[in-house]
Structure 1
Amino acid sequence: MRFNKLDLNLLVALDALLKEHSVTLAAEALNLSPSAMSNSLARLRDYFDDDLLVQIGRKMELTPRAINLQEAVRDVLLRIDSTIAQAPAFDPRTSDRLFRILASDYTQMVLGPALMALAAQRGSTVRLEFAPQIKQPQHLLERGEADLLIIPAGYTSPEHPHAPIYRENFVCMVWREGRLARGPLSFERYVDAEHVVMQPRDGRVDIFDKSILKRHGVSRKVAVVTYSFVALPALLVGTDRIATVHERIAHRLLNVWPLETRPMPMAFDAMEQAMQWHKFRSKDPGLAWLRGLITAAGQRIDEF
């Protein structure tokens, strides 16, 4: 099929080339021979009157024209896939579809058990893949490389729809035998203590420091930084440090490590956890089923 003299089949090849920056890798991704992909690249160069990919040292880099085409081509293919090529029905009891979900280790630990249990109870045969959240994870939604993003509602993109899943409070955790476990945890003791914090790998500003600075004009004394929410409590053992932790993680790990919880010594809003998906895929029947399952899991999160 052609549109304005462009073979539309070449858009698939162009998308792979722009993503992989390699004729060989693009060919592998589409199960084509390198020579067939080279031929497609030649035809694309002729149509756009641009090299698109150029060899620089050992790598192939995109030309400015190719960079401008990258998002538009992915957008067109995603729209076709979600509106024209998408199957009209979906049965989770017979489908082997793979859903890729961007979620933190916190989400997997807290929401995961309810999600897995409900999927099993309903006889689902779909497959799930959890992937880490990178900087600007919504771009993976836009490129069709992820189906769902689970993230605090305050960090969702305004470009795509999202829905709430559940709310989460926070508590402080300290080593059971440490100085901070003796007596109440005041705001002054909280500020004076050394802290173990999770630093998001996607470049987001830490919500605790952001809130504390805004309301009280102080910041925490950060002694240890980790990339894992679940690792925070373990890093407190044997120290007089403190960690501000999701309440559900704290409750799940109290019997694992010799730790205790304390209420937050200042007013702190609960976090609303949300899921987000690409605007072109709102009517995808499989994704609609998955969103419904996640909503149900969020409502029963404390049962598992």
Structure 2
Amino acid sequence: MRFEHLDLNLLVALDVLLEEKNITKSAKRLHLSQSAMSSILGRARAFFEDDLLVQVGKTMQPTPFALEVQVPITEVLTTIRGGIIGKRFNDPLKSERHFKIVASDYVIQVLFSSILTELATLAPLLTFEFLSPFSHEVSILTKGGADLFIAPESVMLDGYPSSLLMVDELACVVDMDNKLVVGDVISAEQVGSMGHVSVGFARTSHLSIETWLTETMGGSRKVDIITNDFSTMIYTLKGTQRVAILPKKFANIHAQKHGLKVVSFPFDTPLLVESMMWHPTLDNDPIHRWLREKVISTAQNL
């Protein structure tokens, strides 16, 4: 299909290429061979009269022109998917949509585990890809690279539709045999003196509790291990004298299974408020709306 001499298939391929910045990964996503993907990139370069992606060392980097057209291309494709194609396939039982969802392993285990079980019957042809909020900034949503972005309320963008999902408490978790903590209460002195296991604080610290901990404890907190998700924290905590601070719903799921003990905080902590956000062009997409409603109703019953 051509529009003003432009093969529209090139836009689909270029959208993926600019996101992945890798021919092999792009080919896999589009179910093409590597040579076919290289050929498409060559055709796109010829049409736009620009290199688009340039090999720099072991990675491919977009040219200034590619960066300039990336957002318009993604927005056009997102509008087509949500406003045109999405309206044709509005039966969950028959829909073959692929949803990309940014959500932490905490959200997946506490919320989506039961949703996916139900969807296996209600919408068996839907497929899902979960991306970590510790690896992807909220800009992935604005560029059309994700269908849903689930993260703390503070991350939600003005002007983008969103919905409150879960409110959780924070809890201290230690190994069941931790000799430093006796009973079900930990003191402020122990929290300050014990080694900590933390998750995902660096450039995405706004998605964790690190800012609050720094303000509360100052420089007295000793971080021994930094991991890239909550599940890994569990395994770096077992058999040690360390402490981890986790969402309570997640901690309760893993405590008995992994021989851990959830203890009360010695001081007041902020609530963890998780919300779900999506691109405005998907607001009236029937299948997208159906999935959102399923997620919201499940979260309300937690």
TM-score range, shorter chain: 0.7 to 0.9
Describe the SS at the equivalent of 2:232.
coil
Q: 1:174 to 1:16 in 2, by over 3 A?
A: closer
Instruction: Quote the Cα distance in structure 1 between the aligned partners of 2:159 and 2:211.
Output: 24
Give the aligned residue type for 1:137: E
SS of equivalent to 2:122: coil
| Superposition deviation, residue 79 in structure 1 | 2.2
Q: Is 1:139 aligned to 2:139, yes or no? A: yes
- What are the Cα deviations for residues 71-92 of structure 1, in whole angstroms up to 9, with x where unaligned? 2222223223322343245111
Are residues 61 and 115 of structure 1, via their aligned partners in 2, closer, same or farther at CA, if it must alter by over 3 Å?
A: closer
User: Relative to total residues, which structure has the larger helix share, 1 or 2?
Assistant: 2
Q: Could you say if the C-alpha distance between residues 219 and 163 of structure 1 is closer, same or farther in structure 2, counting changes exceeding 3 Å? A: farther
Q: 1:6 to 1:214 in 2, by over 3 A?
A: farther
- The residue type equivalent to 1:238 in the other structure is G
- 55 and 96 in structure 1: CA distance in 2 versus 1, 3 angstrom threshold: closer
Deviation sequence 1:199-229 (CA, Å, 0-9, x none)? 2576324743321332454542111222221
Partner of 2:46: 42
Tell me whether 273-282 or 224-233 shows the greater mean CA deviation: 224-233
Tell me the residue number matched to 1:76. Answer: 76
Q: Which residue of 2 aligns with 1:239?
A: 240
Assess if the C-alpha contact under 8 Å between 1:230 and 1:249 holds in 2: no
Max radius of gyration: which structure?
1
- Cα deviations by residue, 1:47-100 (Å, 9 ceiling, x for unpaired): xxx554556678764332222222222222322332234324511122232222
Question: What are the Cα deviations for residues 252-299 of structure 1, in whole angstroms up to 9, with x where unaligned?
Answer: 222222322211111112111111111211111111011011011112
The CA deviation at 1:14 is 4.7
Q: 1:124 to 1:13 in 2, by over 3 A?
A: closer
Q: CA RMSD in A?
A: 3.2
Native 8 Å contact 2:86 2:287 kept in 1: no
Question: How many corresponding residue pairs?
Answer: 295
**Structure 2 residue matching 1:165: 3-state secondary structure:** strand
* 2:231 match: secondary structure: coil
1:104 equivalent in structure 2:
104
Correspondence 1:94 to 2:98: no
Structure 2: stretches of 5+ with no match in the other structure: none
Shift in CA distance, 66/194, structure 1 to aligned 2, threshold 3 Å: same
Task: Indicate if the aligned counterparts of 2:192 and 2:217 stay in contact, CA closer than 8 A.
Answer: no
**Cα distance between partner residues in 2 of 1:208 and 1:26:** 35
Q: Contact 1:52–1:63 at 8 Å: present in 2 too?
A: yes
Q: TM-score, normalised by structure 1?
A: 0.81
Q: Within 5 A, what are the aligned runs for 1:1-304?
A: 7=6, 9=8, 11-12=11-12, 14-15=14-15, 18-19=18-19, 29=30, 38-45=42-49, 50-53=50-53, 61-88=61-88, 90-120=90-120, 123-125=122-124, 126-158=126-158, 160-182=160-182, 184-200=185-201, 203-205=204-206, 207-215=208-216, 217-301=218-302
Contact 2:200 2:227 in 1 (8 A): yes
